[in-house]
Amino acid sequence: MQIADVFDALTSVRPYKPALSCAEALDVLDSEARRGWREPRLVALLHKLFESPVNSAAWPVLVAWPPSGAVLQSLENMRQALNA
């Protein structure tokens, strides 16, 4: 979740900074992984997701499906919070 959160922060406009492109955000995460601030295997997985064509057949290889009950509950909590 940390990698996704950082990626989202980097690619989102903030009052104090413009949004980075996806490529720029991946470069930042690569740099942080080299410094030991991020888990290199997770950053590599994020790269793999962006390099994969949008194809539902590729997802079972990249993401365990169906998700666990905890993941489903977390997604439901986020959905409810966004609709509140």
d(CA 2, CA 42): 10
State residue 30's pLDDT score.
96
d(CA 84, CA 81): 5
State residue 37's pLDDT score.
93
State residue 55's pLDDT score.
53
pTM: 0.61
CB atoms within 10 A of CB 35: 8
What does DSSP assign to residue 15?
Answer: T
State residue 73's pLDDT score.
78
Nearest alpha carbon to residue 63 among 75, 79, 78: 75
> From the first residue on, what is the mean pLDDT of each consecutive set of 10 residues in the chain (84 residues)?
91 92 93 94 88 58 62 77 78
State residue 9's pLDDT score.
92
d(CA 63, CA 45): 10
